[in-house]
Amino acid sequence: MKTLIDFLGRTVRLTDERLEHILEHPEMVAMESALAETLRDPHLVIRSRTDEMATLNYRYYLRTLIGGKSLCVVVECGDADAFVWTAYLTDRPKRGEILWRKP
């Protein structure tokens, strides 16, 4: 298990099982270090519309295995715990309440 720190200074768990799930997708293999960077310094953070306890943390990467894409790291935030649920590359952020945007 890895422990990551998000942009608010909160500890976020990344379990071996979740990391294995994320890295099963070929385009994500080279993105492991980007998971921590995206949480630490996101460009945009949105509350999930389908799960009010989840945040979608986005950071744009010019060079991924499939071109310029935003990495979305989904974090489930409980009262005393936060953990990475999944991560994926996308062309655009999902709609939802913007919690934070990089100036």
pLDDT tens across 31-72, in order? 999 999 999 999 999 999 999 999 999 999 999 999 999 999
Residue at 101 is within a domain:
no
Residue at 13 is within a domain:
yes
Residue at 100 is within a domain:
no
The residues near 79 (Cβ < 8 Å, ≥ 6 apart) are none
Q: Compute the 3-state secondary structure of the chain and give helix, strand, coil in percent, each to the nearest 5.
A: 20, 40, 35
Residue at 99 is within a domain:
no
* Overall number of domains in the chain: 1
pLDDT value for 79 = 85
Q: pLDDT tens digits, residue range 18-27?
A: 999 999 999 9
